[in-house]
Amino acid sequence: ISTKHRNTSIVALNAVSTFSQIGQYGLGTTLLPIAMVAKGASPEQIGMTSSAFWLGMLIGLLIAGQLTRSMGYRITVIAGLVVSALSFALMPLIDWQWWLIPAAIIGFGLGLRWIANETWLYKLAPAHARGRIIGIHETLISIAAILAPLILVGVGAVKPTAFLVAAATIMFAILPLFIAATLPASELPNTVKLNIALPRFQFGKNMKQAITFLMGFGALIAGLGGWMEGSILAFLPVYCADIGLASGDVAWLLTILGVGAMTCQFAIGWLADNKGVLWTAKLCTLAAFLAIITSIIFGKDFLSLAVTMFILGGVGGGLLTLGIFWATLDDASDSLSNRVRQVSIIYTILSATGPFVAGFVVGHTGSASLFW
């Protein structure tokens, strides 16, 4: 591949991720809960639908490697985008009580696109510039968390328009795929291992064995961020409706959540480089705790909620960044790709579990329990 074609391909695949992320993730995680609140759904129903999105993504992550080996990168990405777009387009036509099915399919398509497109991208990236390309890519996909709520501010969440915008944005992401260079995918690993050993750290013996059996420490850090982020995305609309805020206010708060996620990652990465992953993770969780206490005390004030959302957005995304960072510390290990994949899987599992559990808690105790 010529240098010019390689660079063009990298730009094209970054464009695919950017546009598809706005629809699949940005609107997938914000539009559905806001629309369901407007339609009178219970917290349990909202929690189950939000969890279905993340569980669908998990299935996509697990089978993406096999599909890519069979169909290639381009066709796998297209398949993921098409099923997500069709699901969005069909949702206004069916009863909202059945939305957990298309929600799961949207997440499934996201999982396929995530693995196939990013593997394709990073294989094209030259080794000397891979870190910078990954940084640019993560910044671009963070835009989705800001633009998606702004789309809801503009078009609303009750009418079918937002669903059609999501479908159109996802389908538009297909176009740059035909510019990217074709690469073989036969060397992708066949299996995903979930019981990868912990990097060395002085835990108590039993605690270390338990965590090692279930997940790597990087996956645990990322998963806690996913639990928190998934719960907030699903139930912030419920909480805001209960305190009298309009859906437009919810969209702005979700936008601020995305701004926090995008703007805090460099600082968190810098701290991890200089202070270590564990020290930075402790600082992040302390910041999240103080922000949540602020919301419990002053939670009916828009400004205090905005500050809380900014901090929680930064921490939620930051814990995923720290989890990936921890997983890549031992870059000489043959299990590097499995550890990174493990982080994404555990992150997705706990992102699904968070809103599922929160739905039953909020349903039985009230929306104020979300922050508790």
Provide CB contacts within 8 A for 51, sequence distance 6+.
Answer: 230, 352, 353, 355, 356, 359
At residue 266, does pLDDT exceed 80?
Answer: no
Are 261 and 144 in contact, with CB atoms under 8 Å apart? Answer: no
Highest mean pLDDT among 110-124, 280-294, 355-369: 280-294
Cα–Cα distance, 317 to 260 (Å, whole number) = 8
How far is CA 348 from each of CA 214, 219, 228, rounded to the nearest angstrom?
A: 14, 10, 12
Mean pLDDT (whole number) for 15-43: 90
Tell me which amino acid residue 161 is: T
What was the pLDDT predicted at 39? 87
What was the pLDDT predicted at 336? 54
What was the pLDDT predicted at 337? 56
Lowest-pLDDT range of 55-59, 83-87, 194-198, 206-210: 194-198
- Per-residue exposure over 205-217, b if at least 16 CB sit within 10 Å of its own CB, e if not: eeebeebbeebbb
What was the pLDDT predicted at 211? 47
Mean pLDDT (whole number) for 251-260: 88
Highest mean pLDDT among 169-183, 184-198, 235-249, 311-325: 169-183
Cβ burial, residue 183 (10 Å; 0-12/13-18/19+)? middle
What was the pLDDT predicted at 282? 93
320 pLDDT band, cuts 50/70/90, is confident
At residue 35, does pLDDT exceed 80?
Answer: yes
Mean pLDDT (whole number) for 104-119: 92
Mean pLDDT (whole number) for 201-224: 62
What was the pLDDT predicted at 170? 96
Single out the residue of 214, 219, 189 nearest to residue 345, CA to CA.
219
207 pLDDT band, cuts 50/70/90, is low
At residue 201, does pLDDT exceed 50?
Answer: no
Lowest-pLDDT range of 26-40, 198-212, 338-352: 198-212
What was the pLDDT predicted at 309? 92
317 pLDDT band, cuts 50/70/90, is confident
Mean pLDDT (whole number) for 18-25: 94
> What pLDDT, in 10s, does the model give residues 330-343?
654 445 556 667 78
Single out the residue of 286, 289, 268 nearest to residue 277, CA to CA.
268
Place of tokens 């805001």: 240
Highest mean pLDDT among 11-15, 320-324, 365-369: 11-15
At residue 192, does pLDDT exceed 50?
Answer: no
> What pLDDT, in 10s, does the model give residues 74-110?
999 999 999 999 999 999 999 989 999 999 999 999 9
Highest mean pLDDT among 149-153, 192-196, 210-214: 149-153
> Which carries the bigger pLDDT value, residue 333 or residue 251?
251
Tell me the pLDDT of the chain averaged across its residues.
Answer: 83
What was the pLDDT predicted at 146? 85
Cα–Cα distance, 196 to 198 (Å, whole number) = 7
- pLDDT over 90 for what percent of the chain? 30
**Segment 254-257 long-range contacts (CB within 8 Å, at least 24 positions apart):** 254/30, 254/145, 254/148, 254/149, 254/152, 254/309, 255/145, 255/146, 255/149, 255/150, 255/153, 256/306, 256/309, 256/310, 256/313, 257/145, 257/149, 257/232, 257/233, 257/309, 257/310, 257/312, 257/313, 257/316
Q: Extract the tokens encoding 355.
A: 């809103």
Are 257 and 313 in contact, with CB atoms under 8 Å apart? Answer: yes
What was the pLDDT predicted at 331? 52
Cα–Cα distance, 59 to 66 (Å, whole number) = 12
What was the pLDDT predicted at 161? 92
Q: Extract the tokens encoding 126.
A: 């030259």
DSSP label at 328? Answer: T
